Structure 1
Amino acid sequence: MKRFMTLVWLLSFAVVFAWSAHETLTYLVVKSCLPNADDLVEITPYSYEEKRIYNTERLILDDVCGRFMVNFIPSWARFYPPDPAPIDGKVPVWQVLTVYSVEPDLGMDEGLNLSPLQSIIGNSQGVRHMKYKLLFFDFFEGSESFLYFVEMSKQAFGRNDRYWGYRFLARAIHHLEDLSMPYHNAPGRLGEVLESLLWNREKGMELAYRHFSYDDYLAYLLYLEDEEVISSIVESQPKRARNMRELIQRVRLLGLRNLEAVDRIFSSVYSGLDRTLSWNDFEASSEQLKELKSITKLIMKEFSGYLKGFLLDFLTQVGEI
């Protein structure tokens, strides 16, 4: 039991953040598919009664457009979204979706009592940000988080509050992006997970570092403006699901379907990994990571298509396009 708790505690720190560079991924998707991306919306105050509780010390309710990117993007990044200051209290649709797609990772779900299972994973934020599938069982609330913020967005648009309609929608986008990440759907390949649980604590730490590292690998590709990966996002065509549940299932399958290959590459190229990899490590191993890049491009192309289809259909439904 102690080894089990140690493993899941380590993994909880990785799954909280899922993909890095939410803002850049969202920007590329939104600017390449929404006909109203440049429409201006008036900033409005928060005025909602929610069913969820948050860490109010970490919850951001004021507008931070124009002040976010400069403090968030790493110094080595060559490409990232612009973040202009509001003009006459208004900001474009793309900026609200871009900036606030990061918001769920800034601490609003930390330090809460959300589930009896959080005593095992050691982090309430992970309860809302991941959706593990182990054998025949699903754990945690990542998909429910997506559906929750879709409904909050509908509520805001129904009140003609376009700013909070898009801001809640940005949070929904974040959680859907989380669900496409392979390690966000399972800790690793089943054999190694069992090994880490039964006799090899170091294996559990290695699995966690693989997860941390794959989080940052997407950021590395996007921030350094990898043309192939960016093209896979921008040029993807909208893909439709019949309903929200099917959309969630298809996105999760992207992660689950590619987990074994991603994990195999990390275990081969970085055997015995004992730290999170940096962009310098990725640069030095670029030749060995060609397959990983191809897999990541595939995930991004497929996921971006589903996200575009969802956004176009949802915004049509609420009368925005």
Structure 2
Amino acid sequence: MKKIFIMMVLGFHCLMTFSWSAHEVLTYLLIKDFLPNSDKLVQITSYNYDEKRVYNKDSLRLDDYCGEFIKSCSLRDICYLPPDPKPVDGKVPVWQILMVYSVEPDFGMDEGLQLSPLQDMIGNSQGVRHMKYNIAIFEFFEGSQSFYYFVDMSRQAFKKGDEYWGYRFLARALHYLEDLSMPYHNAPGPFFDTLKAITDKQMAQLLSNSHYSYDEYLAYLLYDYDQDAVDAIKQAQPENSRHLRQLIQKVRWLGLSNIENVDKQLRVVYEDLLKERVLTISDYVARKGDLQTLKKVTIDIISRFSSLARGFLMSFLKEVGQI
């Protein structure tokens, strides 16, 4: 009966799950002026790994595409984009590898797979690998395992002297860690609203639209180069964790503990719209003056996350002999 109950709870949330948007900007701001070796040039190498992880090979690129990743921003007429120079003599800097490939898991490599009997209830297999739902005492999906997996692959690459793939696998790990700080990647919505959504289609749609909409809110702040958000990332001081499991616990709690407030603030300003559709960046621009509380909550999340991520990066790169 418990299994059936939880499946009903999850069943309302039928959407193709995305992640925090603007991974490339978040990662660039996180590392560029922070990592002591961020400008180090790394030789591009070919992929040569025997992995157990299954990918959608139609969407997985294993060649290097630094220098062709960032060309334009379609979100607004004017927006902030990190630099993306062409490789020089087959080499690229550490910051560029981490920035470019932190977006890679959203390009389809986790889509169209058979990973979980529950995946049809959330849209497809991408959500399985990018989320870690916590509902009451139950946990679902593999977001944290995705992080662990690519940390281990990065460690293996560095161990055999392959710096390029060491950093590229690390960039993928950062993607999943960033996703796990997103409130709606830790639960479908506030607990009692989640229960209500089992029988209330309007509530189910509201929570679904809120999830998509909040994905785009960070993109709005970062592509708009909101100075408060940028400073929160750049000025974050490293926070150490005893081990990777504690790091994941901290990051997930950061998302989960803020879902009630985030959901409330979205509805304060946009409830009527959220009943009908997903918000766009234009919606955020139009109501910018009404978003101060939502902005503060989001900046608090991203500031603490940046501290945790920087603590992890410093510890891990020391472990593998990169700094």
Q: TM-score, normalised by structure 2?
A: 0.94
Q: 2:321 maps to which residue? A: 319
Tell me by how many angstroms 1:191 deviates.
1.7
Query: Does residue 289 in structure 1 map to residue 294 in structure 2?
Result: no
Tell me by how many angstroms 1:73 deviates.
5.7
Q: Distance in 1 between matches of 2:244 and 2:11?
A: 35
Query: Does residue 270 in structure 1 map to residue 255 in structure 2?
Result: no
Q: Distance in 2 between matches of 1:176 and 1:76?
A: 30
Query: Does residue 227 in structure 1 map to residue 243 in structure 2?
Result: no
For residue 317 of structure 2, what is the amino acid of its counterpart? L
Tell me by how many angstroms 1:220 deviates.
0.5
For residue 233 of structure 1, what is the amino acid of its counterpart? I
3-state DSSP of counterpart to 2:271 = coil
Q: 1:94 maps to which residue? A: 95
Deviations 1:4-33 (A, max 9, x none): 6762213xx2xx322100010000001132
* Alignment coverage as a number of residue pairs: 316
For residue 301 of structure 2, what is the amino acid of its counterpart? I
Q: 1:144 maps to which residue? A: 145
Tell me by how many angstroms 1:245 deviates.
0.2
**Are the aligned partners of 1:3 and 1:201 in contact in 2 as well (CA < 8 Å)?**
no
Q: 1:169 maps to which residue? A: 170
Q: 1:108 maps to which residue? A: 109
**Are the aligned partners of 1:73 and 1:80 in contact in 2 as well (CA < 8 Å)?**
no
Between Structure 1 and Structure 2, the one with more helix by share is 1
Tell me by how many angstroms 1:72 deviates.
6.3
3-state DSSP of counterpart to 2:139 = strand
Q: 2:216 maps to which residue? A: 216
Deviations 1:163-202 (A, max 9, x none): 000000000000000000011101111121122112x212
Deviations 1:227-271 (A, max 9, x none): 000000000000001000000000001101111000011122111
Farther-moved stretch of structure 1 (111-120 vs 300-309) = 111-120
Q: TM-score, normalised by structure 1?
A: 0.95
Tell me by how many angstroms 1:94 deviates.
0.2
Gaps of at least 5 residues in structure 1 are none
Q: 1:304 maps to which residue? A: 306
For residue 227 of structure 1, what is the amino acid of its counterpart? Q
Task: Report matched runs for 1:1-321 at 5 Å.
Answer: 7-10=12-15, 13=16, 16-70=17-71, 74-198=75-199, 200-272=200-272, 273=274, 274-321=276-323
**Are the aligned partners of 2:188 and 2:207 in contact in 1 as well (CA < 8 Å)?**
yes
Q: Distance in 2 between matches of 1:74 and 1:262?
A: 23
Q: Distance in 2 between matches of 1:76 and 1:62?
A: 31
**Are the aligned partners of 2:75 and 2:281 in contact in 1 as well (CA < 8 Å)?**
no
Tell me by how many angstroms 1:77 deviates.
4.3
For residue 9 of structure 1, what is the amino acid of its counterpart? C
Gaps of at least 5 residues in structure 2 are none
Deviations 1:114-154 (A, max 9, x none): 11221332301111110000000110000000000000000
| RMSD, matched Cα | 1.5
Tell me by how many angstroms 1:76 deviates.
3.1
**Are the aligned partners of 1:180 and 1:299 in contact in 2 as well (CA < 8 Å)?**
yes
Q: Percent identity?
A: 54
Q: Distance in 2 between matches of 1:52 and 1:217?
A: 31
For residue 95 of structure 1, what is the amino acid of its counterpart? Q
Cα 1:33–1:76 shift into 2, 3 Å: same
Q: Distance in 1 between matches of 2:77 and 2:10?
A: 36
For residue 319 of structure 2, what is the amino acid of its counterpart? Q
